[in-house]
Amino acid sequence: MSIYVVGHKSPDTDSVASAIAYAALKKAMGVDAVAAMQGELNPESKLVLDRFGFSAPTIMTDAAGKQIMLVDFSDLAQGPANMSDVVEVVDHHKIGDVTTNSPIFFYAKPVGCTCTVINEIYKTNGIAIDKKVAGIMTAAILSDTVNFKSPTCTPDDKAAVKELAAIAGIADTSALFMDMLKAKSAIDGVPVKDLLNRDYKDFDMNGKKVGIGQLELATLDQAAGCRADLVKALTALKAEGRHSVLFMLTDVVKEGTELLVVSDDPALIEKAFGGKLTNGAMWCPGMMSRKKQTVPPMQKAFGC
């Protein structure tokens, strides 16, 4: 029976590349592993797969009757429906609420990208990484660490990119990142719903449902024309039963985020980030990472 390797909902480049890379590793170890994803490719991920010669993984949103390996998440809310038979987890986020009936292989490290962890597992098992796989892993690490600018970036991530880029034959990783950023930040004509879903996650914060999305841009001016529609879409999301919805418009060049907020308790959000909301938004200098700079202050504010 095939085992499905799947990343989180609203797949990003790390969740897709991790699924492909980890399925390739498990196949090399004699396991019938199939890479999967829970939604369509975003523009950045599509560029990466096209560049290194991969087709999109199979879409799998219902895990009923399937054994699955999780990459890049361990939260039930981020998994496919009917997820019950989890046999492995590889991640770089906080430990989530997935439980199992028996001991499993669970490998998580506080690094900037799941592909950095997978690179380590390849080396530990003495298995060579395919050139094309090394290419998408390199791209995933560059994406998740924002070309090493994110506070989540570690020396392990930088070392992994050096190793993987050499295998893949990538001479200029910064040029690769800029191509990815151009694809990621090209938003003209893109429906607002698609922009929200490019990188969006729901979190349980002390019994309250909180949504946090992120859109990385070369400049905030790119979002000026759709800002009002974004706020309307966030308001609609909140009306579905969420306490708060936050959306990070991250300026990669300025290295900061304009945080759009729709909340039952705006004062709580202001307290969490030490700022003042003006017309439902605040500028957060230095904020680049949802995982390290947005989620933890929110959890603290909610008493998690």
In tens digits, the chain (304 residues) has pLDDT values of 899 999 999 899 999 999 999 999 999 999 999 999 999 999 999 999 999 999 999 999 999 999 999 999 999 999 999 999 999 999 999 999 999 999 999 999 999 999 999 999 999 999 999 999 999 999 999 999 999 999 999 999 999 999 999 999 999 999 999 999 989 888 888 899 889 888 899 999 999 999 999 999 988 999 988 999 999 999 999 999 999 999 999 999 899 999 999 999 999 999 999 999 999 999 999 999 998 999 999 999 998 7
What pLDDT was estimated at residue 131? 98
Q: Which domain holds residue 281?
A: 192-301
What's the number of domains the chain is made of?
A: 2
- Burial label for 224, CB within 10 Å (0-12, 13-18, 19+), is exposed
Tell me the torsion sign for CA atoms 231, 236, 242, 247.
Answer: negative
Task: Verify that 16 and 152 share a domain, yes or no.
Answer: yes
In a domain, 187, yes or no: no
Task: Looking at the structure, tell me whether residues 58 and 96 fall in a common domain.
Answer: yes
Regarding whether 135 and 50 lie in a shared domain, the answer is: yes
Residue 244 lies in a domain: yes
Q: Which of 149, 182, 215 is the last residue of a domain?
A: 182
> Do residues 215 and 142 both lie within one domain?
no
Identify the pLDDT of residue 197.
85
Task: Please tell me the predicted confidence (pLDDT) of residue 161.
Answer: 98
Of 132, 155, 182, which marks where a domain is finished?
182
pTM confidence score = 0.81
- The 8 Å CB, 24+ separation contacts for 94-99 are 94/291, 94/295, 97/204, 98/70, 98/74
Of the candidates 44, 91, 48, the one whose C-alpha atom is nearest the C-alpha of residue 72 is 91
Sheet holding 58-59, edge to edge: 58-59, 33-37, 3-6, 67-71, 85-91, 105-108
Which residues are bridge partners to 214 per DSSP? Answer: 248
The pLDDT value given to residue 253: 86
